[in-house]
Chain A
Amino acid sequence: MAKNNQPLSPHLSIYKWQITNTLSILHRFSGVLLFLAAIDFSIWLASIAMGENSYAVISGLSSNWLALVFWVAVSFSFFYHSLNGLRHLAWDFGKGFETHQVNYSGLIVVFLTLLLTSSFWFFLLTKYSF
């Protein structure tokens, strides 16, 4: 018996995985990760305001491999969420709803995300020495 009227769809156990629903849930995951990054951004700002020692502590926390994994994930999420957000904005204007269009725009977003994330890290690592 259903306790409430919340919609249950999609029924994940029998749902066929496609590029559209994969990218849709990835939009949410990347959004949550960027939420954490936004909190971290304010901590970083506070560390700058509090002076050199606190800045060194916060920078030190970000210099191990676990933090690097986090920042690679954040940068990927950032580019993905930005590009997929453009897709969402197009949908809000009623454009691009045909099946071949959502599949095609989804593939473009994935391709551009990988391209931008890798070139971002290439530029970053050649510019700064960590």
Chain B
Amino acid sequence: MNIVNRFLNLLCLSGFEHARDHWRSQRETAVILFILTFWFLYQLLFVLNSLDFIEVQTWATDPLNALIIVLTSLYMIYHAELGVQVIIEDYVSEKRSQLNLLYILRFFRICVVVTTLISMFFLVYEN
């Protein structure tokens, strides 16, 4: 598990992880998310003055904010996939349907990753 692999995992460009890597990734993403989500909470409570479109757009377009927002979204869905994967593996014992559910889960994650990257790219690029 080097830095390149972790980057690919974050972008959802690799397959389901080996149980050993899964365990470690789940904890790493948890610690990273603890910082990122509390940053987001701080922004919501103490930085943003309103939730009007112009205010939110200006805030999200700031390059540093945009980078942290992208990381937050990617890490959230990464950690969520790792967690829901465990739940599916625990409660769905039939192998075929277990695998199907994991693919559906992966599909949702790919949608979120693509949506986040495209949205934030155009948001920063066009403004």
Q: Are B73 and A3 interface neighbours, CB within 8 A? A: no
Provide the bound-state CA to CA distance between A82 and B111, in Å.
25
Do B87 and A32 touch (CB < 8 A)? Answer: yes
Shortest CB-to-CB span from B113 to chain A, Å, is: 8
Interface residue B112 (Cβ < 8 Å from any Cβ of A): yes
In the complex, what residue of chain B is closest to A123 when comparing beta carbons? B45
Nearest-neighbour CB distance to chain B for A127, whole angstroms, equals: 7
With both chains docked as a complex, state the minimum distance between the C-beta of A28 and any C-beta of chain B, in angstroms: 6
A112 CB–B CB distance under 8 Å = no
Are B73 and A38 interface neighbours, CB within 8 A?
yes
Partner of B45, one of A35, A43, A124: A124
| Contact, CB under 8 Å: B93 / A89 | no
Contacting pair A4 B60 (CB below 8 A): no
B120 with A38: CB separation less than 8 A: no
When the two chains form the complex, which single residue of A6, A28, A43 contacts B93, counting CB atoms closer than 8 Å?
A6
When distances are taken between beta carbons in the complex, the residues of chain B under 8 Å from A56 are 53
Cα distance, A104 to B51, chains bound together (Å): 39
B112 contact set on A, CB distance < 8 A: 38-39, 42
With an 8 A cutoff between CB atoms, is A45 at the interface?
yes
Interface size on A, residues (CB 8 A): 34
Task: Give A59 to B93 CA distance when docked, in angstroms.
Answer: 40
Interface: B83 (CB within 8 A):
yes
Across the interface, do A45 and B73 meet the contact criterion of CB distance under 8 Å? Answer: yes
B51 partner, pick from A32, A59, A85, A123, beta carbons under 8 A: A59
Per-position binary interface string of chain B over residues 38-80, scored 1 when its CB falls under 8 Å from any chain A CB and 0 otherwise = 1001001100001101001100100000000100110011001
Minimum C-beta distance from B56 to chain A (A): 6
Contact partner of A32 among B84, B94, B108, CB < 8 A? B84
Chain A to chain B contacts (Cβ below 8 Å), 30 pairs: A4-B94, A31-B80, A31-B83, A32-B87, A34-B80, A35-B77, A35-B83, A35-B84, A38-B73, A39-B77, A42-B77, A42-B116, A45-B119, A46-B119, A48-B57, A48-B60, A48-B123, A49-B119, A49-B123, A50-B119, A55-B56, A56-B53, A85-B34, A88-B30, A89-B30, A120-B41, A124-B45, A127-B45, A128-B50, A128-B51
- Starting from the known contacts A32-B87, A59-B51, A85-B34, 4 additional A-B residue pairs (CB-CB under 8 Å) come to A28-B87, A56-B53, A82-B38, A124-B44
